[in-house]
Structure 1
Amino acid sequence: MTVAVQTGTWQLDPAASTVGLRHKTMWGLVTVKGTFTAVSGRGEVRPDGSAAGTVTLDAASLDTKSAKRDTHLRSADFFDADHHPEITLAVRGADRLDGDGVRVTGQLTVRGISRPLTFTARLTDANAEGLTLDAEFTVDREQFGMGWNQLGMMRGLTTVTAGLRFIRAAS
């Protein structure tokens, strides 16, 4: 899909957007999946076609369908949501590639620790009313101070998936 995206300010539509994660645990035998139920964001498409913005997740909104696990993930062992209630991706640049690709560069902040992040997203829909980006990338949770790993059960990277729908922001 090769489409032009209109310049201006865009607001994330939380009802039409999802951000989830998956991580293998129990020595790779079980995949834990969760979804952040509170997500917000805003972006600006510049006249040159590049974009910048921010996506924010409420760390305490992670839902893995297990109350006990969710409580543990909100604790100081993982997200430490009481002290660091937000996870943010500050997008410094989102540049169109050939076809439907978008190179996203920015800074991911989890638990107050920021790290650079670059990944490729797909522009799956774009028109005058809205645009949708789909992305999947991995992060090393230990780089963000989440090293809890009882009996070596949790290894490897965490996969983050996002389907973000942006609509024109009110002027």
Structure 2
Amino acid sequence: MSVAVETGTWQLDRTATTVALKHKTMWGLVTVKGAFATVDGQGEVRADGSAVGTVTLDAASLDTKNAKRDEHLRGADFFDAANHPEITFAVRSAELRDGDQVHVVGQLTVRGISRPQSFTGRISEASADAVTVDAEFTVDRDQFGLGWNQLGMIRGLTTVNATLRFKRSAA
């Protein structure tokens, strides 16, 4: 795919965007999956082709299809959504490499704790008015104060899957 994304301001298309996570629990026997219902963001493609921007998740909007678990995840043991309502990923640099590959360097903030995060995504669709980036990366939840682990049930890294569709902002 030949990718050419126009310079300017881009707004996240909430209806065509998904951010989901999965994590093994119960000593690796069960995979918990969930998606954030509320995602927002914007970006800017600069003249040199690089991009910067921010993606924001409503921490309380995580839905794992289990109300009791979701309430626990929103609470102080995990996201502490009452005190830290947003999870943000600030893109410091996104650069196109090897055709449709996008190398992203940024800062992830969860529970008020910020850590550097980088990954390589893929542009799955690009036009003059829209661009879609697919990405998968892992996060060590302990680095963000999400260390609750009753009886050692939760181990390993959390996998984040994102499909982010941006639309060109009106001038």
Please give the range of the TM-score, normalised by the shorter of the 2 chains: over 0.9
Matches within 5 A, 1:85-100: 85-100=85-100
Tell me, in whole angstroms, the C-alpha distance in 2 between the residues paired with 1:3 and 1:32: 35
Q: What secondary structure sits across from 1:123 in the alignment?
A: strand
- Alpha-carbon distance in structure 2 between the residues aligned to 1:129 and 1:147: 42
Map Cα deviations across residues 78-127 of structure 1 (whole Å, 9 max, x no partner): 00000000000000000011121000000000000000001000011110
Q: CA deviation at 1:45?
A: 0.3
TM-score normalised by the chain length of structure 2: 0.99
Q: Deviations over 1:34-90 (max 9, x none)?
A: 000000000000011000000000000000000000000000000000000000000
Is residue 2:164 matched to residue 1:164?
yes
Write the distance in 1 (CA, Å) between the matches of 2:145 and 2:170: 38
What are the equivalent positions in structure 2 for 1:77-88 lying under 5 Å apart?
77-88=77-88
Is 1:38 the equivalent of 2:38? yes
Q: Which amino acid in 2 is paired with 1:43?
A: G
> What is the number of residues matched between the two proteins?
171
The one-letter amino acid paired with 1:57 is: L
In structure 2, list runs of 5 or more residues that go unmatched. Answer: none
Distance apart, 1:2 and its partner CA? 1.8
CA distance in 2 between partners of 1:126 and 1:170 (Å): 17
Name the SS of the counterpart of 1:170 in structure 2.
coil
Paired position in structure 1 for 2:111: 111
Residue in 2 that maps onto 1:58: 58
Q: Name the residue aligned to 2:74.
A: 74
Corresponding residue of 2:14: 14
- What is the RMSD computed on CA atoms of the aligned residues? 0.5
Moved segments of 4+, more than 6 Å: none
Aligned to 2:25: 25
Whole-Å separation in 1 of the counterparts to 2:63 and 2:2: 35
Is the aligned partner of 1:136 residue 2:136?
yes
Code of the aligned partner of 1:13: D
State the partner residue of 1:101. Answer: 101
Unmatched 5+ stretches in structure 1 = none
